[in-house]
């Protein structure tokens, strides 16, 4: 059943990365969000891929909500072109607010913070705490090792095969948005009970 996507949370690096393709894809995603009338919810920064995707949305006339913890709300990091900037006490409050404002989630390449946000939002979906789609923009195969690790966890019996479907993977921003709009989540029931063999 198609989902109405009014806002999407994007997790991504505060560094641009070494490959120019990372910035190109972040710019393409931001443009797609704006053209489709989808609000960007993101971490509020002006640097790295965070700043790139935000600038692309704003440059294309789109809407942005930034969520930034107090200790990062400095002139060097905060994106002052964002009118709707929410300052929160800490990282936990940041993630909770970003999740509550979003109809779906996309992870671009990034470091520890991006991986932590992505894996937590997948875990929340596994527990049935939300039913929003989660997408990986697998730019240049960046997430191939993570995908292999998840598949290994399925093979080893730590992740149910049905729960593998919680994560949509694509290397094209437009196609990923299309798939998120068509996403139907698997059931969260019985995730703790052993699978029948």
Mean pLDDT computed over every residue of the chain = 92
pTM of the model: 0.93
Top pLDDT among 194 and 167 is at: 167
Report the pLDDT averaged over residues 36-47.
96
User: Got the DSSP string for 114-132?
Assistant: HHHHHHHHHHHHHTTS---
What is the bridge-based pairing of β-strands 7-11 and 64-69? unpaired
In a domain, 24, yes or no: yes
The CA distance from 51 to 3, in Å, is: 27
Report the pLDDT averaged over residues 49-72.
96
In a domain, 191, yes or no: no
pLDDT digits (tens, 9 = 90+) for 91-137: 999 999 999 999 999 999 999 999 999 999 999 999 999 999 999 99
Q: What's the order of all strands across the beta sheet hosting 7-11?
A: 84-88, 64-69, 39-42, 7-11, 104-107, 133-137, 167-170
Burial of 1 (0-12, 13-18, 19+ CB in 10 A): exposed
pLDDT at 173 over 90: yes
Angle between helices 20-35 and 48-59 (to 10 degrees): 40
Beta-bridge partners for 128: none
In a domain, 107, yes or no: yes
Quickly state the pLDDT bin for 75 (edges 50, 70, 90).
low
Predicted confidence at residue 196, as pLDDT, reads 45
Domain at 50, CATH number:
3.40.50.450
pLDDT over 90 for what percent of the chain? 84
Question: H-type helices in 43-189, by residue range?
Answer: 48-59, 91-100, 112-126, 144-155, 173-181
Predicted confidence at residue 190, as pLDDT, reads 52
In a domain, 75, yes or no: yes
Predicted confidence at residue 74, as pLDDT, reads 76
pLDDT digits (tens, 9 = 90+) for 24-38: 999 999 999 999 999
- State which residues form the domain around 171: 7-181
In a domain, 91, yes or no: yes
Top pLDDT among 182 and 192 is at: 182
In a domain, 96, yes or no: yes
Residue in the block written with tokens 């921003």 = 173
Quickly state the pLDDT bin for 11 (edges 50, 70, 90).
very high
pLDDT at 192 over 80: no
How many structural domains is the chain composed of? Answer: 1
In a domain, 154, yes or no: yes
In a domain, 1, yes or no: no
Predicted confidence at residue 4, as pLDDT, reads 86
Alpha carbon distances (Å) from 144 to 70, 105, 106, 152: 34, 18, 16, 12
pLDDT at 197 over 50: no
Predicted confidence at residue 17, as pLDDT, reads 95
Report the pLDDT averaged over residues 151-163.
94
């Amino acid at each position: 059943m198609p989902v109405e996507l009014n806002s999407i949370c994007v997790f991504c690096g505060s560094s641009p990365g070494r490959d120019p393709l990372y910035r190109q894809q972040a710019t393409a995603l931001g443009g797609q969000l704006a053209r489709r009338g989808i609000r960007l919810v993101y971490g509020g920064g002006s640097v790295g891929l965070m700043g790139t995707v935000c600038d692309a949305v704003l440059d294309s006339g789109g809407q942005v909500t930034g969520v930034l913890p107090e200790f990062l709300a400095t002139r060097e990091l905060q994106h002052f072109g964002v009118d709707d900037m929410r300052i929160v006490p800490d990282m936990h409050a940041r993630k909770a607010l970003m999740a509550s404002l979003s109809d779906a989630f996309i992870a671009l390449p990034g470091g520890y913070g991006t991986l932590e946000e992505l894996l937590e939002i997948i875990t929340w979906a596994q527990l049935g705490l939300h039913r929003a789609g989660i997408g990986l923009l697998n730019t240049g195969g960046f997430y191939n090792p993570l995908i292999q690790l998840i598949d290994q966890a399925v093979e080893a019996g730590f992740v149910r095969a049905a729960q593998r479907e919680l994560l949509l993977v694509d290397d094209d921003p437009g196609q990923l948005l299309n798939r998120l709009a068509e996403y139907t989540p698997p059931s969260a029931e019985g995730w703790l009970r052993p699978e029948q063999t």
